[in-house]
Amino acid sequence: MMRRLLLSTAALFVSAQILMSAPALADYAAAEAALQAGNISAAVPLLAEEAKLGNPVAAFNLAKIYEDGAAGAPDFTQAATYYRIAAEIDTAPRYNGAALGAQAPQLIAAAQMYGQFSLGRLYETGKGVPQDYNEAVGWYTRAADLGNIKAMLKMAVIQREGLPGINPDLASSTAWLQRAAEAGSVPAMLELGRAYRSGIGVAPNAQEAAKWFEGAAAGGSLNAEFNLGELYRDGLGGQPDYVRAVEHFERGANGKDAPSMLALGDLYAAGQGLPQDKVQAHAWYSLAADQGAANGSAKAATLAQGMTQQELAAAIALHDNWQPKAKEAAIPAAAPSAPVAPAPASAATAPSPDLPPLFEESAPAPTLAPAAAKPPAETVLEPGTAAPLPTSTPPSFDPFAPADPFDPFAQPAPGAPQPGAKPFEPTQ
């Protein structure tokens, strides 16, 4: 707990040497020193003094201490009190930020928008404040308007699913996804692509769906590769393009994405986009079953009925010796694929930096306006390569299917999972 707290507060403080150069700021410097020494009990009263002066960074960190119970039992009432100080910095007497050094404007803005997000979470769950969904939505909206992508995604979830007294609004949900996607959120790009494909809150548009899936795939989303494969297989622009479908399914399949493995097996079995090959199809079905595909084993068994003993032996060997092999050439650009992920914001226009990863999305990349990540190397199934199955599982980029069923933005560490709105139930 102590290490998680220090990790979560480290980015909120500037150098102690800078702070100690001004004797009048000794309380804040002492608070920092106490936190870095792991002395939470000493840090709490010092942070409280700074919070009384309107220091939103101190208030935010003190709120996290109370919420996480780092100084004892969790105290959500105190957490709400100090989150409010951080959240309402724009309505309180202006804090001069001298104690925060040169980064004061960015740190104050970050503490404000995360204070607003956290206060919304407390109102949504009724912890430390009366449960009030409308109040929660108000705080989430304020945080989102300051550029908090987590708040944008939260609003997308609430508007998609609704809450007691708040009816679903699919158009509003998709609009929030659009804002988050345009700000660089890979999970939002993925879900926005699904919205355009299925017509959720917008008119169905396969070209727009492909564009956003391309952006998510460029950010590393295997699920986006699968969705792109489906679009091309089913006829993006009118006619099926099985060759491009194979390329995207291969990327997903060789990242151990079970639906992609299954789909690739189907194309091998039917000879669509590549030569018909029962051995390859059987191997991919079996690999899909290994990754949890419910019908992978059944498909393999059905196919096996029309295979020779030699073919079955080859399929089993192919499965047992599977190892991804990177191709040299990347997938060529698809017709509808304009770059989606925004370029990094300039220094003059860059939004306030995120606070530490307390509520990060389920992605390893930074949250605010990241550059598009380099796509993973495409790989293919090669027979005769004696190597074990990879043991690592690619990270999930879907915030609507988290490990914690209550919070689509939870991350195992640092910080404890936080309850939130009901997650999406994405369909493959």
- Work out how many domains the chain is built from and give that number: 1
- C-alpha angle with apex 125: 119 to 129, nearest 5 degrees? 60
- Judge contact between 340 and 188, C-beta under 8 A: no
Domain annotation covers residue 75: yes
Q: Is-contact 404 161, C-beta < 8 A? A: no
For the domain that residue 43 is a member of, what is the CATH number?
Answer: 1.25.40.10
Range of the domain at 55: 1-146
Nearest to 200 by CA among 182, 226, 174, 180: 174
Cα separation, 124 vs 139, in Å, equals: 10
350 lies in some domain: no
pTM listed for this prediction: 0.70
For residue 386, tell me if it sits in a domain: no
Residue 135 lies in a domain: yes
Angle, in degrees to the nearest 10, between helices 278-290 and 258-270: 160
- Measured in residues, the chain has a length of 428
Contact 192, 181 (CB under 8 A): yes
Question: Positive or negative, the Cα torsion across 260, 263, 268, 271?
Answer: negative
Nearest to 311 by CA among 265, 286, 287, 278: 278
Q: Could you read off the pLDDT tens digit of each residue along the chain, which spans 428 residues?
A: 443 343 344 344 333 333 333 333 447 778 878 888 888 988 899 999 889 888 899 999 999 999 999 888 999 999 999 999 999 987 666 787 887 888 888 888 899 999 999 999 999 999 999 999 999 999 999 999 999 999 999 999 999 999 999 999 999 999 999 999 999 999 999 999 999 999 999 999 999 999 999 999 999 999 999 999 999 999 987 889 999 999 999 999 989 999 999 999 999 999 999 999 999 999 999 999 999 998 999 999 999 999 999 999 999 999 999 987 664 333 333 333 332 333 333 333 333 333 322 222 332 222 222 223 333 333 333 332 222 222 222 223 233 343 222 233 333 222 222 222 222 222 22
3-state secondary structure of 379: strand
| Residue 13 falls inside a structural domain | yes
Among 215, 62, 133, 211, CA closest to 422 = 133
Note whether residue 41 is domain-resident. yes
Q: Residue 125: inside a domain, yes or no?
A: yes
